[in-house]
């Protein structure tokens, strides 16, 4: 059981802060960094940062299931892998709120239904445009495709550079992180998994 002092440190979550509150928070961070938020070069910065956050994190306002809701069954018996390679990915690390930049490879094995290929790229964006860790992002994309489309299998690989490692901390600009999630036949069938890996190299 938590004592009173522990409970007093818990910040109550406000799901709908006002724009003015958000701008005030940015001004506070500028001042904390050591600069004057009221000087000419910074006076408009809180507004710009808030506008940028609306774009960076627009994924919170989108339903990933709806993106995949329109499917097609008239595929003339097509039953081979569908693969979208090199999907540009821009996200933000939930630990430092700095960029994660990379690419995603997304594949699925249809089970009578297919979805428009642009929808897979949009699905990547929806989850990427939220505060994330790469492992969770990879799983979310794969699990959503599996749940909504009910294919025979799904494969997702993300290769990304984390600015929390390249511009701060250990400062390793040459590093990248690779995560993967294999479901269904991509996990259980070595031949299909191998074909996928060859296609993305």
Just list the catalytic residues: 93-96, 134, 162, 164
Tokens 């992002």 appear where?
Answer: 137
Q: If residue 146 lies in a helix (H) or strand (E), which one and from where to where? A: helix 134-149
Q: Which residue pairs, CB below 8 angstroms and at least 24 apart, start in 76-79?
A: 78/110, 78/114, 79/109, 79/110
118: Cα separation from own chain's centroid: 16
* Euclidean distance between CA atoms 70 and 56, whole angstroms: 26
Q: Which two tokens stand for residue 127?
A: 């989850």
Q: Residues with Cβ < 8 Å from 195, sequence gap 6 or more? A: 81
Separation between Cα atoms, residue 156 and residue 200, nearest integer Å:
11
Six token digits for residue 12: 């109550």
CA distance 176 to 165: 9
């Amino acid at each position: 059981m938590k004592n009173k002092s522990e409970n007093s440190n818990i910040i109550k979550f406000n799901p709908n802060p006002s724009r003015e509150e958000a701008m005030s928070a940015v001004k506070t961070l500028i001042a904390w960094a050591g600069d004057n938020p009221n000087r000419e070069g910074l006076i408009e910065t809180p507004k710009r940062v808030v506008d940028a956050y609306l774009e960076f994190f627009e994924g919170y306002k989108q339903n990933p299931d709806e993106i995949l809701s329109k499917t097609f069954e008239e595929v003339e018996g097509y039953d081979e892998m569908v693969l979208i390679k090199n999907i540009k990915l821009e996200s933000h690390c939930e630990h430092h709120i700095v960029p994660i930049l990379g690419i995603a490879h997304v594949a699925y094995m249809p089970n009578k239904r297919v979805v428009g290929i642009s929808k897979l790229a949009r699905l990547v964006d929806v989850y990427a445009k939220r505060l994330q860790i790469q492992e969770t992002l990879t799983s979310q994309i794969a699990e959503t495709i599996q749940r909504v489309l009910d294919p025979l299998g799904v494969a997702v690989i993300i290769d990304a550079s984390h600015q929390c490692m390249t511009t701060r901390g250990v400062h390793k600009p040459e590093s990248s992180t690779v995560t993967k999630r294999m479901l269904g036949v991509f996990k259980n069938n070595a031949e299909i998994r191998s074909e996928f890996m060859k296609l993305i190299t």
